[in-house]
Structure 1
């Protein structure tokens, strides 16, 4: 049900006086690391409920991300919110006149953050500024159903759904913690003119809430004691009732996840009940029964997406197969998509419409495997396209490599999807190869879009293979289940089999292959050196697990942020039990097997990482450095589970470029 991707890829067309043509002749020298890993120039855009105005997050004159409002009638723009020492982060329209937003600090690492995101409101003309949520960590958090007139405490966050956009209020939430661990969220309705907040009844241990077409809380999920549940709020009484519960982890026959609610109150859910792939079905809340017939099924892919509404009705569904697209149920929107795609060939063109449109304007976000996002305004009456901004204007599509989804067969016959990104200008033969392993691992890895990591490596002359190895999600229940308790075993074999498949196809030079990844991917990179030393000549591990037992026990320096429920109910099923599987844990632990690692290895960690604490890297480095002089450990002060600071991203990937260049790069000799 997705639009076929145009081949060969076309560049964006030159449109009107502003010119949307972003491609340029390929340069002899690849773009610098800063072009790939700097903060986006434009990073979000949203139409107002009427479609008469548009808000954008963009780099302001003060060098920080600011909030810009464009009046579409005359294309006038006004910076309505900006700070000299903080960035605008998430934002949403409250109504056609008012916006709400929170903040972040892009120039400080997480360990150095001294304030919470806060929450603020402002009118579209820049007036009516009001702080709604305190940014100070020292104020006590309060929850309940009482009414507050002061600022809400720092641990109050925007819900992340657009809501009704027809009043002065929005929904916000506060994480509830007991015994130091998050157990659910409390929900509040917050007036953005008065800062008065009123608690909203919710099920115990609520994890997620879904607003209906009228912007009211209607469906919620909860989780406690290894059991997940879905709840429904009666429109008349306001009382919550449980629809169904099922195991939170592992096998859960009949489980489903809310996708959204229609304007008629119909509940749409994603479920793999009775099938290997997740599909979209209706759910009758009166009888607690799933609809018999799938409304959307995506062949080889699990459904992942959300409903699109506008003009008081459901228009279609956002979804992800190899690429993102929209399945339009509305005939006018289908015709509009075809028109836009003809004007902007070779790109994914995601159309966003106003909630209650009064103008012909729609917002288009366009991207491809070689093009970072571009924000475009389209006038349905005049046919005019106006470029609003580019996320990374330094990136030129013709200087990037092509990315495609391929498949190869693992040693046990399982068909493994994988993303292959090749250097600009063609496939080439016997290229140096980087096997780039995604984290999680119980998640989907990639999609057809511009990816900074893989494109940076491709522009340096490397083929990049990103396997969707077993255990990952998005490709069916069988694919997911095949990875249970397979860390360092069949999951690891999938990576080696992918590398060998690229050698067999003539894409890769079998003597110049490196394996790299972050988090679980970092674990797999180290295990690649242990298990397949003749195949992988080097490894890059950042924020990677080095010992599975450390995920359970924590470390001496900082506590892991893995939830206790995940450790108790999820990890024993999906990863293994520390007692019953002790022998397997030892055999598949890079730390325990460090004496076997003789190849060059580059590692990097943040000293404030609460997911995979620095001790993982320190212990492994201590174990390997005595016999391996080519083991390097880099520590980024203040960073957590990944690199927040632009300078650290640039520094890390510059190190990676030099490391790969020494060991498998175009100038390195094949053994």
Structure 2
């Protein structure tokens, strides 16, 4: 047994892991790194039981997109027991949390038949920890329903009633049976107090057609309701009107309006019943900041925290009542600022106990918060889960995020900045091959997806794979990335494509100017918007990159708008893309003749985020222009290509393509 003693309020004992690491990891890494880096994350989601003695977690099946719900004794250890599994074709489990010491609630992703196509949907189910008593908690589908419900609902409040019931948000669609008086007019999103075993329900909030969100106080009281503003025939505007209830009242009062497309207004996240405030995010000086808003009718607003350079992007919450204990934001690394002084001291102590794992997050806790489930990781460690017992001062390792990589040598990630063409300092993350001096290497610029997204310091399976194969990898936080405020985001990465893609090209030029990259061995690789950027970067400067790999890319902005024409978010997508000359000028498929580098495209044929037709169009346009292009399509896979064999195949093919294009051994 190992012990780590440090100067703090308590001493932690680091006990051996409960589960064994896969013994063949090192040999496999040498034999087939693509299989190791392409493996899906070993712990997809995890939850601690109310007593703090059991852990439920989702893990992938070895093949396909399916996964398995396991339960394991967090104290005694032993083999995890299978509770439920999904086939992945198409249904799969997306999250599971403890309702009680013996029962769990799980969200399931599946496809349902719409008017013309299969549509993605979710359902909420409950199951005992031994696999018995599987019950559907979502409102059941009926043969005479007038529409198809895509939303499966969610547990609004995990505090249980005397009968073990919980507050569940459920979607209802009206039904009508000709010649019968059995019609059900309920329509929209409402809240029931639901017995998850007997399925007896009592309406708490009647369904409302455009209700989008309910927020409780963690004690069984719904205090905030969000109503989406729709126009025309069910078109979502991105605007949500929020209402609140004063303590002890049933009357709804206007809280404010939030514009989700521009992040304008107060966006509530949680309610604190003791201080009687709502916690939420709102812009200050163009960047998101954390505020509290009084729910006593005064409307008093208090600034909790604002960062001068980046957005606050969320709240740190803990316990079954999901109480707010701090805020989270990312500078060069992820940071958590704790309001709770005890947790702040504990987080500091844990950082000292785990000096090589600077990223520490509280994932869950027992009902009394005496036991904490936490995750810790770094750039060279994909992460591991621990159980901390406050009373014993003991920290026990439970399991690894990616056991296949336990013995693999991973590359350090360094935060750097480079100059854009207009002199702006652009932050980026540089990953060099392990042991490399970083001189005259084959190199990859890897723009992130989004465009409303950003990269962070830590482990990234895609960049780590290429570093392991000998490439330097630079991940730029180009203008158009989120997280740095309005000034940095500009109009977004599509409408402001010249600035965003200019920054991406400048990342490649910086690698060459620093002597890191051999200019004849410079490539670009991206996924989703990053795939778009990989292609459009070659439109903007056809001579810079010698090869391009685009995974699930947007290639035609007009098509981007058209493919969402039959969905409620069509207006939001159309506004994101915008109108004007940039729609054609910023579309790689419309400018295929300018691309000189060979192109490799990957896409799943059931991608409902960016349709496979985007890659097919790009391949067709490149071939028509006499360019070198290859398209790989994965059947029955969506935007994430969430299949270990497919990801390993992608990595092998991408590496082989880059080596051939860059003339590498």
Which residue does the alignment assign to 1:79? 81
User: Cα offset for 1:330?
Assistant: 2.5
Which residue does the alignment assign to 2:459? 450
Q: Distance in 1 between matches of 2:277 and 2:151?
A: 30
User: Are 1:513 and 2:522 an aligned pair?
Assistant: yes
Which residue does the alignment assign to 2:252? 240
CA offset digits 1:207-252 (Å, max 9, x no partner): 3333323244322333324333222134434333321125554484
Q: Distance in 2 between matches of 1:248 and 1:666?
A: 46
Q: Quick one: structure 1 residues 194 and 370, their matched pair in 2 at CA, closer, same or farther if it must change by over 3 Å?
A: same
Q: Is the 8 A contact 1:45 1:54 kept in 2?
A: yes
Q: Distance in 2 between matches of 1:61 and 1:524?
A: 32
Q: Quick one: structure 1 residues 222 and 402, their matched pair in 2 at CA, closer, same or farther if it must change by over 3 Å?
A: farther
Residues 614-633 of structure 1: matches in 2 within 5 Å? 614-628=612-626, 630-633=628-631
User: Are 1:576 and 2:578 an aligned pair?
Assistant: yes
Q: Is the 8 A contact 1:92 1:99 kept in 2?
A: yes
CA offset digits 1:613-637 (Å, max 9, x no partner): 2222222222221443521111222
Q: Is the 8 A contact 1:116 1:137 kept in 2?
A: no
Which residue does the alignment assign to 1:122? 127
SS of 1:221's equivalent in the other structure is: strand
Q: Quick one: structure 1 residues 353 and 114, their matched pair in 2 at CA, closer, same or farther if it must change by over 3 Å?
A: closer
User: Are 1:66 and 2:61 an aligned pair?
Assistant: no
**What RMSD in Å do the two structures reach over aligned CA positions?**
3.8
Which residue does the alignment assign to 1:585? 583
Which residue does the alignment assign to 1:230? 242
Q: Distance in 1 between matches of 2:199 and 2:81?
A: 23
Q: Distance in 2 between matches of 1:393 and 1:310?
A: 28
Report how many residues are paired: 620
Return 5+ residue gaps in structure 2 as ranges: 1-11, 175-186, 232-236
Q: Distance in 1 between matches of 2:13 and 2:21?
A: 5
Q: Is the 8 A contact 2:139 2:171 kept in 1?
A: no
Q: Distance in 1 between matches of 2:402 and 2:412?
A: 18
Q: Distance in 2 between matches of 1:21 and 1:73?
A: 18
SS of 1:201's equivalent in the other structure is: strand
Residues 165-180 of structure 1: matches in 2 within 5 Å? 165=160, 167-174=164-171
Match of 1:404 among 414, 439, 458: 414
Which residue does the alignment assign to 2:6? none
Which residue does the alignment assign to 1:33? 34
Match of 2:640 among 638, 642, 654: 642
Q: Distance in 2 between matches of 1:170 and 1:62?
A: 36
More displaced stretch, 56-65 vs 90-99:
56-65
Q: Is the 8 A contact 1:172 1:190 kept in 2?
A: no
CA offset digits 1:151-184 (Å, max 9, x no partner): xx9745252666225532241333879xxxxx97
Q: Quick one: structure 1 residues 463 and 532, their matched pair in 2 at CA, closer, same or farther if it must change by over 3 Å?
A: same
Match of 1:280 among 263, 273, 290: 290
Which residue does the alignment assign to 2:280? 269
Which residue does the alignment assign to 1:3? none
User: Are 1:157 and 2:168 an aligned pair?
Assistant: no
User: Cα offset for 1:341?
Assistant: 1.7
CA offset digits 1:111-148 (Å, max 9, x no partner): 99999654432334x275132258998856589xxxxx
Q: Is the 8 A contact 2:547 2:597 kept in 1?
A: yes
SS of 2:641's equivalent in the other structure is: coil
SS of 1:270's equivalent in the other structure is: strand
Match of 1:256 among 266, 270, 274: 266
Q: Quick one: structure 1 residues 287 and 506, their matched pair in 2 at CA, closer, same or farther if it must change by over 3 Å?
A: farther
Match of 2:102 among 87, 97, 113: 97
SS of 2:376's equivalent in the other structure is: strand
Return 5+ residue gaps in structure 1 as ranges: 1-11, 144-152, 178-182
Q: Is the 8 A contact 2:18 2:398 kept in 1?
A: no
Q: Is the 8 A contact 2:84 2:131 kept in 1?
A: no
Residues 303-318 of structure 1: matches in 2 within 5 Å? 303-310=312-319, 314=323, 316-318=325-327
Q: Distance in 2 between matches of 1:481 and 1:120?
A: 42
TM-score by length of 2: 0.83
Q: Is the 8 A contact 1:307 1:318 kept in 2?
A: yes
Q: Quick one: structure 1 residues 539 and 455, their matched pair in 2 at CA, closer, same or farther if it must change by over 3 Å?
A: same
User: Cα offset for 1:192?
Assistant: 0.3
SS of 1:413's equivalent in the other structure is: coil
Q: Is the 8 A contact 2:312 2:327 kept in 1?
A: no
More displaced stretch, 474-483 vs 68-77:
68-77
CA offset digits 1:436-461 (Å, max 9, x no partner): 122221x2221122111111111111
Q: Distance in 1 between matches of 2:63 and 2:432?
A: 38
Q: Quick one: structure 1 residues 140 and 342, their matched pair in 2 at CA, closer, same or farther if it must change by over 3 Å?
A: farther
Q: Distance in 2 between matches of 1:58 and 1:616?
A: 32
TM-score by length of 1: 0.82
